[in-house]
Amino acid sequence: MTASVHTNKSAMIALQNLNTTTSRLDSTQKKISTGLNISGAKDNAAVYSIAQGQRADLSSLTAVTSSLNRATSIADVALAAGESISDLLNEMRENVVAAMDPSIDEQSRKAYNDQFQALMRQVGQITQSAKFDGANILDNSLSAGINFIADADASQTINLGSQNFKIYSSAVAAASASASTPRISLYKDDVLYLAAGTSASVSAATAILGRLDTTIKSVNSALGALGAQAKQIEGHLTFVSKLSDSLTAGVGNLVDADLAKESARLQALQVQQQLGTQALSIANQAPQVILSLFQG
């Protein structure tokens, strides 16, 4: 081996090894600090690209979840209102049947009529108040219902159908008053008491009872449809949540660092760095030997 003060091969080799160790140590420290085995495209371009694509889908699923949660809230409000209306209709039926009794006096008949009218107004108020975030699927303002996004590409939707619980005047034909058939067959001007006499009042109450029974069946059928749609939305929301968890786990499998291994690697590289520094120091002292050759 040539002794030279210009070229120190041992020092160069030691420096190369030290640089390699330092680079690996920096990489390990980055993995430990970020918790990621692949934190950028430079680490692994192909895997990073795949992971970013999955992250994009995860972000979109967040929007899907938000849309479905809104659908759930709208459906819950509509169901709560519909169930209250169903209970009120049952109370109204009680008043109608009581008003059909020919033995009661005029004062009692008027009292039943007043209570019937109050309950009908309450039905109308509930229908108009059944809103969430400005959406009402009971007052026929949204005849086609509402569509909510169901997948990350927004290419599929889930429809929450609208129901017409409005009460129209008898002067307005229900068929032409609305784009959808009203669920309530009663009219705002229905009365259980007629001044023409008891028989007329009983006949009016009998006619109202027939339409009220139809209304009760129709409303309960509508509630069944709303309940089925709400259950479908709830089920899809559960699926989206599971899909989101699966995608998160998949991205983790691609890019997450094994911190137990990285911790062990850190310890080893720190020792290697110290040894490399000592080796470089020893190699740098080699030219000093040449001085002894020229000492007298």
Q: Note the pLDDT of residue 179.
A: 59
Residue 207 lies in a domain: yes
Q: Which tens digits make up the pLDDT trace of 91-103?
A: 999 999 999 998 8
- What is the domain-level CATH number for residue 79? 1.20.1330.10
Instruction: Examine the domain organization and report whether 151 and 265 are in the same domain.
Output: no
Q: Note the pLDDT of residue 2.
A: 64
Instruction: Examine the domain organization and report whether 230 and 96 are in the same domain.
Output: yes
**Rounded Cα distance, 247 and 186, in Å:** 52
Instruction: Examine the domain organization and report whether 209 and 281 are in the same domain.
Output: no
**Token code pair at residue 26:** 């920096």
**Rounded Cα distance, 25 and 175, in Å:** 79
Instruction: Examine the domain organization and report whether 91 and 234 are in the same domain.
Output: yes
Pairing of strands 157-160, 146-149: antiparallel
Q: Note the pLDDT of residue 177.
A: 59
* Core vs surface per residue 74-92: b (16+ CB within 10 A) or e: bbebbbebbbebbebbeeb
Residue 288 lies in a domain: yes
Residue 268 lies in a domain: yes
Q: Which tens digits make up the pLDDT trace of 274-294?
A: 888 888 788 777 777 777 777
Q: Note the pLDDT of residue 176.
A: 61
DSSP 237-284: HHHHHHHHHHHHHHHHHHHB--HHHHHHHHHHHHHHHHHHHHHHHHHH
Instruction: Examine the domain organization and report whether 84 and 173 are in the same domain.
Output: yes
Domain span holding position 66: 48-239
Q: Which residue ranges in the chain fall short of pLDDT 50?
A: none
Q: Note the pLDDT of residue 44.
A: 85
Structural domain tally of the chain? 2
Q: Note the pLDDT of residue 178.
A: 60
User: Rg (Cα) of the chain, in Å, rounded?
Assistant: 40
Instruction: Examine the domain organization and report whether 228 and 86 are in the same domain.
Output: yes
Instruction: Examine the domain organization and report whether 21 and 71 are in the same domain.
Output: no
Instruction: Examine the domain organization and report whether 288 and 148 are in the same domain.
Output: no
Q: Give the residues across from 285 on adjacent strands.
A: none
